[in-house]
Amino acid sequence: MVVLGIETSCDDTAASVVRREGDGGCKILSDEVWTDHGDHAAFGGVVPEIAARSHVERLDVTIEKAIGASGLSFDDIDAIAATAGPGLVGGVMVGLTTAKAICLAHSKPLLAINHLEGHALSARMTEAAGFPYLLLLISGGHTQLIWVAGLADYRRLGTTIDDAAGEAFDKTAKLLGLGQPGGPRIEAAAVTGRADRYDFPKPLARRAGCDFSFSGLKTAVREAAQSMAAPSQTDIADIAASFQFAAARHLAQRTERAMEMAPAKDEPRRLVIAGGVAANSVIKSMLSSVCECNGWTLIAPPPKYCTDNGAMIAWAGAERLAAGMAPPITEALSLAPRARWPLAPPPEGAEIGGGRKGPKA
């Protein structure tokens, strides 16, 4: 079962061809990602309009490269999977519309994939991550703890009440003049820094449950930076290291709370981490210690599959195709791109955000 995956939810233009083997294993035949942070560097972050135009210019070439690298042709592909949300709606529109055109031209099924489900299932491409498991999804736009009971069976345990972890890393990097993308720049600067120089706050320490908050931590970092007229490279490294430690500690502490809330007590206890922030070595190390102390197993995709990629979208499509979840082509072609698309409904009474575009993811 071979699926072409297309990912355009943010600024990375990605396409991949994945084969689901008969035993349920995954073979990644090609994985093309076109990233150019220089397009957005002058603005200190991703500009939606620039990202959408970039996808228009690059997606056809990226798909062509993915097909060519796989050694296959469109005749060998069984279905097309594309991110349909959540994300920057202009970019999502480009990818989904392209996928619809390919399906019409080659008479293939279309699977509209939730970007968060791509992350949720990404560990199953390379690891033996059987259901159920606890998922910590940490990316530029999302920070959630989700109980993954099975394919399309998700229960949200916690989410951020303000900023996402990746957003906090990006804004801290911008504040310190480190550039973008923020996560790798903060981690690199922190290597020579002292993580104990600044005692940044522990968000929600007295609050029950396993929700997250990064706005107060971000404010504390800004106050520390602005307290110095001209921060030296040592000062910047120390702030970066202290912030990174505080963010990792917060993620680890709230995840430990979620472990206590996990519905299945007798199942093998597995924690899967996914999303771009999951590539951070300090965060991964701290979560590994939490798992070891509580008798859990930590599972993480390779770093290149933590960030946005087409392989995870293709794999989510392959899993759904194998389970008989491919919709009729007329239904699939009528699907619209979505800026907001929660993977799992929040617990009753814990809804965050809303408005004309629906609840926040």
Q: 65 is in which domain, residue-wise?
A: 2-122+308-333
| Domain match, 117 and 135 both | no
Q: Is 361 within a domain? A: no
- pLDDT digit string (tens) for 64-92? 999 999 999 999 999 999 999 999 999 99
What tens digit of pLDDT does each residue of 184-235 get? 999 999 999 999 999 999 999 899 999 999 999 999 999 999 999 889 999 9
d(CA 222, CA 225): 5
Pairwise CA distance, residues 135 & 92, whole Å:
24
Q: Say if residue 220 is in the same domain as residue 317.
A: no
In a domain, 312, yes or no: yes
- Are residues 182 and 81 part of one domain? no
Alpha-carbon span 321 to 348, nearest angstrom:
31
Q: Is residue 239 part of a domain?
A: yes
Note whether residue 353 is domain-resident.
no
ω into residue 86 within 30 of 0, thus cis?
A: yes
Together in a domain, 140 and 34: no
R_g of the chain computed on alpha carbons = 20
pLDDT grade, residue 302 (50/70/90)? very high
Asked if the structure places residue 354 within a domain, the reply is no
Residue 78 sits in the same domain as residue 186: no
In a domain, residue 163? The reply is yes
Residue 188 sits in the same domain as residue 279 = yes
Please indicate, yes or no, if residue 71 is contained in any of the structural domains.
yes
CA 136 to CA 118: how far, in whole Å? 13
* CATH number for the domain that contains residue 157: 3.30.420.40
Answer yes or no: do 115 and 160 share one domain.
no
Residue with tokens 């971000």: 218
Q: Is the pLDDT of residue 361 over 60?
A: no
Say what the alpha-carbon torsion angle 11, 91, 55, 61 is, to the nearest 10 degrees.
110
Q: Token digits for 143?
A: 């920070």
Q: Residue 14 has what pLDDT? A: 98
pLDDT digits (tens, 9 = 90+) for 236-293: 999 999 999 999 999 999 999 999 998 877 778 999 999 999 999 999 999 999 999 9
Burial 274-296 (b: 16+ CB within 10 A, else e): bbbbbbbebbbebbbebbeeeeb
d(CA 239, CA 171): 13
Residue 202 neighbours by CB distance under 10 Å: 13
Residues 211 and 293 in one domain: yes
Are 14 and 163 found together in one domain?
A: no
pLDDT of residue 348: 66
Among 20-24, 172-176, 267-271, 279-283, whose mean pLDDT is lowest?
A: 267-271
User: What pTM does this model have?
Assistant: 0.93
Question: Which one of 253, 281, 300 terminates a domain?
Answer: 300
Query: What is the tally of structural domains in the chain?
Result: 2
C-alpha 171, offset from chain centre: 17
357 lies in a domain?
no
Domain match, 276 and 148 both: yes
Q: What is the pLDDT of residue 355?
A: 53
- DSSP single-letter state for residue 86: S
Q: 285 and 172: one domain? A: yes
Using DSSP's 3-state secondary structure scheme, residue 79 falls into: strand
Listed residues 300, 322, 355: the one ending a domain: 300
Q: Which of 249, 283, 300 is the last residue of a domain?
A: 300
**Residue 276 near residue 312 (C-beta atoms within 8 A):** no
What is the rounded CA–CA span in Å between residue 64 and residue 348? 45
Residues 145 and 285 in one domain: yes
Q: How many residues does the chain have?
A: 361
Nearest to 342 by CA among 332, 353, 356: 353
